[in-house]
């Protein structure tokens, strides 16, 4: 997690189950850095392929 003061916190490790299902064709295009069309199926587990991060926003979206 990235705090507003710039401090980075590790709040978890390993699989986080955040990305969910996705389209394999879109994933392969992303990996190959090629354009892709709209996803057609949810046949790939995105959690095995992507990292995620979070940024602190204690102002409920009103702050910078």
Domain boundaries, the chain: 1-52
Residue 47 clears pLDDT 90, i.e. is over it: no
Residue 7 clears pLDDT 90, i.e. is over it: yes
Output the pLDDT for position 22: 83
**Burial of 61 (C-beta count, 10 Å sphere; 0-12/13-18/19+):** exposed
- Give the side-chain half-sphere CA count within 13 A for 54: 10
Mean pLDDT of 30-36: 88
Output the pLDDT for position 8: 93
Under the banding of pLDDT at 50, 70 and 90, the label for residue 64 is: low
């Amino acid at each position: 997690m990235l705090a507003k003061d710039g401090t980075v916190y590790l709040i978890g490790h390993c699989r986080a189950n955040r990305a969910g299902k996705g389209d394999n064709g879109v994933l392969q295009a992303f990996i190959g850095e090629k354009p892709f069309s709209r996803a057609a199926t949810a046949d790939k587990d995105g959690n095995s392929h992507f990292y995620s991060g979070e940024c602190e926003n204690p102002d409920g979206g009103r702050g910078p």
